[in-house]
Structure 1
Amino acid sequence: MNNNVSAQWRSIAIVGPYQSGKSTLLESLLYVTGAISRKGSVVDGNSVADGVAEARNRQMSVEVTAAFSEYRGAQLSFLDCPGSVEFVQESWNALVGVDAAIVVCEAEVTKVLTLAPLLKFLDDWQIPHVLFINKMDRASTAVKEVLVALQSVSSRPLALRQFPIGQGERLSGFIDLVSEKAWQYHPGGPPDPIALPEHLRSEEQAAREELLEVLAEFDDHLLEELVEEIAPPEEEICTGLKHDLEADLIVPVFFGVASQDFGVRPMLAALLEEVPAALCTARLRGVEPGGPVVAQVLKTYYTPQSGKLSLVRIWRGSLSDGMTLGSVRIGGLYRLCGQQQTPLQSAGAGEIVALGRMEGIKTGDSLSTEAIAQLLPKAERIVPLFALAISPEKRADEVKFSAAVGKLLEEDPSLDWEQNANTREVLLWGQGEIHLQVALDRLRRKYNLPMQARLPQVPYCETIRRSCTTHGRYKHQTGGHGQFGDVHLDIRPLARGDGFQFSETIVGGVVPRQYIPGVETGVRESLERGPLGYQVVDVAVVLTNGSYHTVDSSEQAFKQAARIAMNDGLSRCQPVLLEPIVELSVFVPSEFTARALRLLSGKRGQILNYEGDATRKDWDRISAYLPLAEMNGFTVELRSLTLGVGCFAWRRAHLQEVPEKLAERVLTRT
């Protein structure tokens, strides 16, 4: 078995905010490397990254797309990741398996903040990454201003690798700040060398000096050369760039126009030279050379042609078709390029390939031919934030519902579903409305399972404010034995969250022991729907007295007597409506904190605390209680107020009395 990691493999993720041009960049990368002979486009719906209907219909990536190419003797695996915040779990899962990432953004200062969560994830995982400032033909802001703004959201120093010749629609080329050579762009072809424009020489020199100063922060020898005004050789600069990128100490910055292939070739050439080899990334993840095969699942697909496919990064060793990983046999080995599958007999360390029919294997799982002493780290699961109540349009489809939803959740682990006991609704949970609509479209397209969807009901409950004593008698005479049960109950409220308590103080056998379970059953059933129409909680019921008939009494008769007593008593105990409250931890840039506080207050939120976020500079963490009824609207509005970067975690906290006027409106609709 070959345990060597090929130094020629490079696995690179393409990430960035929605509409930054990631899919267009992938198309350009595949075109200039010869993987495709003709470029598609997102608008036309024929790009490699938009192979599924849900992506084409929305002109946006909704899942990770894998592609393969070869260039200058190197093999390249690309993973194009969705940019929408609602599909960020896809990106996180894929990023843990790459050697480096290209972060695509626009030359717009107002959009820079949208990069903050992504850059934090990359730095937390120590994933080397470069910035590609795209759409430079539309830029209205000077590169220097854009860099200042970008530096404000990056914890790593930025290192500008190129200096533009021209700006906006007049962008015509670039100056390489390492070699100090100038190049002129040509649409659809490689750039040509030109003489360095004299009017840009002083600006180019200043930019190059800044690049060298960034590198000198991590290289004492280079720092000495700069202090002594010795021009470092080009080879030394290249070595510094490679070392610092590999260690995730700096973020090299390139720019261009992906739709015209401007800037793509020089960035790709730099990546081939400077991105760490697969062996280095494997060591960073705790996988040393030698030993059994180790791989990790980055994404799960269900395809009409091949069934289940598991996209895996091979960290060590080689995989071959028919090999057994754990207790699961590989049922096909493929290299992917969008929706195209190329069968393989084997694949080596550093590659990203798809394995067929790996039943029981999930995204994030570590795979090996032997027991793994330590599982590979995987991205944390993002808690779902938004829910829809769903049901099959056709009653006959209920039979296949569970199996289809199970596959849906395998493909997208950031989805979840539950059967709400109070409302009896099936809830599909996700990251937002678009996320859930994509999931519903998949159910219809892949599994012929059209669904109805609506906002879920709020699982209100009710409780009581006062105590009472109540009596219930059930007497029913038939031709034979009759039915007789008679109970006296004390009902009293409990503290919030104490649930339900049942006890008895029967003396003298006025209610025989064999009938008391029937009383408790009747009491419990009556709590399922109280006088306000909702489940009753936080009450205590005591059976204090009763009577029975030696012939006609039965457990069923005492259950009915208890129900009669409870229905009468609860209505006299001053019932009150309760709503579920969730506890939120809201994370926003400090400049948006005031907006977030107003948003919470306007949605009946109770602010508990707010303070600086210890993990991010210039971010705040707000702790608050919020009614569950307000949460779906809160998700959308928080993102709208914070350029899409505001986020939160939540958990169910407690039940709380609904304000009187709101309770009246709720009960009127019931």
Structure 2
Amino acid sequence: MGSRAGGRRTGPKCIAIVGPFASGKTTLLEAILARTGAIPRQNPVSSGNTVSDHSPEAKAHAMSVEASVATVDFMGDSLTFVDCPGSVEFAFEADAVLAACDVAVVVAEADEKKIPALQLIMRKLDELGVPRILFLNKIDRTAAGVRDTLKLLQPASAAPLLLRQIPLRKDDAVIGSIDLALERAYIWRDFAESEVAEIPGDEKAREIEARFSMLETLADHDDLLMEQLLEEKEPPRDEVFDDLSADLRDGSVIPVLIGTAEKGNGVLRLLKTIRHDAPDVEATAKRLGVPDGDAAVVQVMKTIHTAHGGKLSVSRILSGSVADGSELWLSSSETAKVSGIYRMLGKDQAKLAAAKAGDTVALGKLDGVRTGQTLTSAKGGIAPLVTLEPPQPVYAFSLRPKERKDEVKMSAAIQRLAEEDPSLTLHHNQDSGETVLSGHGEMHLRVTVERLEGKNQIPIDVHAPGVPYRETIRKGVTQRGRHKKQSGGHGQFGDVVLDIKPLPRGSGFKFTDTITGGVVPKQYIQSVETGIREYLKSGPLGFPVVDLAVNLSDGSYHAVDSSDMAFQMAARIGMKEGMAQCSPTLLEPIMKVEIATPSEATAKITGIVPQRRGQILGYDARPGWPGWDVVEATLPQSEIGDLIIELRSATAGVASYKATFDHMAELTGRLADQVMNAAAGGKAA
């Protein structure tokens, strides 16, 4: 290792603003927009007038529900900020954004309850290799010392948190900050630029100690700096800045800046750190594996369907340039033509003639283009740079339009919403006929339904999806089924003897025949099986029948009146009469569930599972996740519907689970009666 002077970099940059729910991300963006002159004044989130939370759903719930993009000019450079939702239910919004960003600003506060949520965010940034700055917000409300706060937050981060500033206090109140690199004090003025000041004498010792600690951490990656510290030489300030910049860019450290976004405090120092120290698009292109050359390479970060302007693909230009009317390749055979290039400021757009490497813009009307795709001007396209993998859904609604005439309209609207939010899953349940929408929590799906009803003007009915109950039998029987009808001309005649018996759980259905002597002609044996299978769609309890075998052992036919339909009817009659004697019983699906939870909440989780008729199989440390456990259990599918709500309530909003089908189990007693009564009532309706 040697000196790591990396130079100061400027140019168009893209910055993701991330952090736990209610940490102040939207407030920080609003403060940045006001400080850079992009908006005339900073609006509080409570006003409902922030640039970021501009959608009706965000205003209604007073929370960010989608990533919002805003580009500003700062000291001659273009900076694009993407405010990402903090709720875990909308976390997937950030995945496509983060991959193409140069740096992330992680907004955090001294709240122990939010450490697991912070850890989730840091983990995602680690996976993507995105450099980050931690902005310690609400510093004026923090009773603990800043270094104690860092000790609290450090477990959430694999890389060391490097204190770049310390609070400047007066009478136990934070009145500003001391920059440890510049060795300068800044006295904050609300919603205005800070006043530069000398470091007060009574703060000097604290500043020297904190600065030395910062330099020690930087020296871990710079032999020359280490020698200077050992020889008690003061390192040149430029070298210190170069080390700070280099360590930020390669992820060796996470610089920590402090402030109070609500008052605009600390924002200017954050902006200057981003401008001077954060990596640029060249580093991001290299991280993503953009091939060398002059071709334009574009990464799609977000899809928006506007009310009047059509589809917009918010995109990062990673190399080359894109002009209005450019043709971009989606694949080896598909192309799309750019129809409009726009600079974004929340819901507002300003048209541009072209965009160059580093710019983050919205490209108009790229039909067939999806969030996460990589586009290029090079003929034939390139391999995707980003792979988006939505987490398994944990909550579902069955939905239908209140008016049948809106069914086609609803389907098209949901497709557009799924383009905007690829973490939504829509499927049609063949058994129940339901349209089931799945996502990452109750609020996630509630917002989706609100968009269907508001943005698309489609009134929707929602309810919990049906559970795929089945029924089976406990004992066997031999039953004759005879269908005989004479009504002039050819009649109908079919006669079968069926041996019905149970099979082990999970065996499904098995049909055989032991017909001898042609008592049932071969051409009708298939008809018998068809009739049985038709009956099994709804057994004596009203549910599909599984795990049984039926053997056709005897029967008779009529040379003139027997037919395919007559033997199908005879089989159904035999099944209906025989099944009622076979002790039918209800089966419910049991799921294998893996619940990821902070260790401190594991006891709560192991208490929740039995209350939902579940069985704990065990729990262990979550591999690679300090302070987390994985609880394994089995749970009836009927108990999983709203499980995520209780899990997140017990874990400050961060628990998640994966569920897979395990087996079918008998359901008896009062619960079985309730299921059968509900099914009978539904059919009657």
Task: Please give the secondary structure, in 2, of the residue aligned with 1:488.
Answer: strand
AA at the equivalent of 2:338: I
Match of 1:140 among 139, 143, 156: 143
AA at the equivalent of 1:46: N
Task: Please give the secondary structure, in 2, of the residue aligned with 1:63.
Answer: coil
2:367 maps to what in 1? 359
AA at the equivalent of 2:348: Q
2:617 maps to what in 1? 608
CA contact (8 A) 2:71 2:81 kept: yes
CA contact (8 A) 2:410 2:452 kept: no
Q: What are the within-5 Å matches in structure 2 for residues 141-540 of structure 1?
A: 141-166=144-169, 170-326=173-329, 327-369=335-377, 370-540=379-549
CA contact (8 A) 1:136 1:167 kept: no
CA contact (8 A) 1:471 1:565 kept: yes
Question: Which deviates the most, 135-144 or 122-131?
Answer: 135-144
1:127 maps to what in 2? 130
The alignment covers a number of residue pairs equal to 665
Q: 1:606 to 1:21 in 2, by over 3 A?
A: same
Displacement of 1:358 in angstroms is 1.6
2:682 maps to what in 1? none
Provide the C-alpha distance between the structure 2 equivalents of 1:245 and 1:644, rounded to a whole number of angstroms: 30
CA offset digits 1:323-379 (Å, max 9, x no partner): 122222222221211111111221111221112222221111111222345321233
Q: Extract unaligned runs of 5+ from structure 2.
A: 1-8, 330-334, 680-685
Q: 1:168 to 1:20 in 2, by over 3 A?
A: farther
Provide the C-alpha distance between the structure 1 equivalents of 2:317 and 2:247, rounded to a whole number of angstroms: 25
Match of 1:46 among 35, 49, 62: 49
CA contact (8 A) 1:301 1:411 kept: yes
2:76 maps to what in 1? 73
Q: 1:321 to 1:373 in 2, by over 3 A?
A: closer
CA offset digits 1:29-78 (Å, max 9, x no partner): 11111212222332121111112111111111111111101111211111
Provide the C-alpha distance between the structure 1 equivalents of 2:177 and 2:451, rounded to a whole number of angstroms: 44
Provide the C-alpha distance between the structure 1 equivalents of 2:548 and 2:360, rounded to a whole number of angstroms: 58
Displacement of 1:659 in angstroms is 5.1
Displacement of 1:162 in angstroms is 0.7
CA offset digits 1:133-152 (Å, max 9, x no partner): 11223223322221111001
Displacement of 1:101 in angstroms is 0.6
Provide the C-alpha distance between the structure 2 equivalents of 1:471 and 1:224, rounded to a whole number of angstroms: 97
AA at the equivalent of 1:395: R
Task: Please give the secondary structure, in 2, of the residue aligned with 1:110.
Answer: helix
AA at the equivalent of 1:512: P
Task: Please give the secondary structure, in 2, of the residue aligned with 1:440.
Answer: helix
Displacement of 1:577 in angstroms is 1.3
Q: Extract unaligned runs of 5+ from structure 1.
A: 1-5
CA contact (8 A) 1:96 1:378 kept: no
Provide the C-alpha distance between the structure 2 equivalents of 1:12 and 1:378, rounded to a whole number of angstroms: 20
2:6 maps to what in 1? none
CA contact (8 A) 1:136 1:168 kept: no
Provide the C-alpha distance between the structure 1 equivalents of 2:72 and 2:207, rounded to a whole number of angstroms: 34
CA contact (8 A) 2:511 2:549 kept: yes
Question: Which deviates the most, 21-30 or 220-229?
Answer: 220-229
Percentage of identical aligned residues: 44
Task: Please give the secondary structure, in 1, of the residue aligned with 2:641.
Answer: helix
CA contact (8 A) 2:588 2:665 kept: yes
Provide the C-alpha distance between the structure 1 equivalents of 2:45 and 2:382, rounded to a whole number of angstroms: 44
CA contact (8 A) 1:65 1:81 kept: yes
Using the size of structure 2 for normalisation, the TM-score is: 0.94
Provide the C-alpha distance between the structure 1 equivalents of 2:291 and 2:419, rounded to a whole number of angstroms: 30
Is 1:583 the counterpart of 2:592? The answer is yes
Task: Please give the secondary structure, in 2, of the residue aligned with 1:43.
Answer: helix
Q: 1:534 to 1:167 in 2, by over 3 A?
A: farther
CA offset digits 1:149-188 (Å, max 9, x no partner): 1001111100111110128992211100111111111112
Question: Which deviates the most, 217-226 or 92-101?
Answer: 217-226
Q: 1:167 to 1:583 in 2, by over 3 A?
A: farther
CA offset digits 1:253-280 (Å, max 9, x no partner): 1111112110000111111111001101
Q: What are the within-5 Å matches in structure 2 for residues 547-566 of structure 1?
A: 547-566=556-575
Displacement of 1:619 in angstroms is 1.7
Q: 1:379 to 1:160 in 2, by over 3 A?
A: farther
Task: Please give the secondary structure, in 1, of the residue aligned with 2:91.
Answer: helix
CA offset digits 1:614-634 (Å, max 9, x no partner): 221222222222211111232
AA at the equivalent of 2:360: I
Q: 1:90 to 1:486 in 2, by over 3 A?
A: same
Task: Please give the secondary structure, in 2, of the residue aligned with 1:49.
Answer: coil
Q: 1:317 to 1:177 in 2, by over 3 A?
A: same
AA at the equivalent of 1:220: D
Provide the C-alpha distance between the structure 2 equivalents of 1:316 and 1:500, rounded to a whole number of angstroms: 59
Task: Please give the secondary structure, in 2, of the residue aligned with 1:309.
Answer: strand
Question: Which deviates the most, 617-626 or 451-460?
Answer: 617-626
Provide the C-alpha distance between the structure 1 equivalents of 2:370 and 2:579, rounded to a whole number of angstroms: 49
AA at the equivalent of 1:419: H
2:648 maps to what in 1? 639
Q: 1:209 to 1:333 in 2, by over 3 A?
A: same
CA RMSD across the alignment: 1.8
2:553 maps to what in 1? 544
Q: 1:271 to 1:479 in 2, by over 3 A?
A: same
Is 1:22 the counterpart of 2:31? The answer is no
Provide the C-alpha distance between the structure 1 equivalents of 2:201 and 2:588, rounded to a whole number of angstroms: 71
Task: Please give the secondary structure, in 2, of the residue aligned with 1:166.
Answer: strand
Displacement of 1:112 in angstroms is 2.6
CA contact (8 A) 2:35 2:268 kept: yes
Using the size of structure 1 for normalisation, the TM-score is: 0.96
AA at the equivalent of 1:575: P
Provide the C-alpha distance between the structure 2 equivalents of 1:477 and 1:107, rounded to a whole number of angstroms: 86
Question: Which deviates the most, 426-435 or 373-382?
Answer: 373-382
Provide the C-alpha distance between the structure 1 equivalents of 2:337 and 2:618, rounded to a whole number of angstroms: 52
CA contact (8 A) 2:470 2:544 kept: yes
CA contact (8 A) 1:165 1:172 kept: yes
Provide the C-alpha distance between the structure 1 equivalents of 2:567 and 2:316, rounded to a whole number of angstroms: 64
AA at the equivalent of 1:35: A
2:683 maps to what in 1? none
Question: Which deviates the most, 462-471 or 124-133?
Answer: 462-471
Match of 1:569 among 575, 578, 587: 578
AA at the equivalent of 2:231: E
Q: 1:340 to 1:169 in 2, by over 3 A?
A: farther
2:631 maps to what in 1? 622
Task: Please give the secondary structure, in 1, of the residue aligned with 2:129.
Answer: coil
Provide the C-alpha distance between the structure 1 equivalents of 2:364 and 2:663, rounded to a whole number of angstroms: 45
Question: Which deviates the most, 655-664 or 393-402?
Answer: 655-664
AA at the equivalent of 1:368: T
1:657 maps to what in 2? 666
AA at the equivalent of 2:39: I
Provide the C-alpha distance between the structure 2 equivalents of 1:455 and 1:168, rounded to a whole number of angstroms: 56
Provide the C-alpha distance between the structure 1 equivalents of 2:384 and 2:596, rounded to a whole number of angstroms: 30
Provide the C-alpha distance between the structure 1 equivalents of 2:592 and 2:295, rounded to a whole number of angstroms: 45
CA contact (8 A) 1:137 1:167 kept: no
Provide the C-alpha distance between the structure 2 equivalents of 1:375 and 1:275, rounded to a whole number of angstroms: 25
Task: Please give the secondary structure, in 1, of the residue aligned with 2:46.
Answer: coil
CA offset digits 1:79-125 (Å, max 9, x no partner): 11111111011012211110001111222233333201001111121
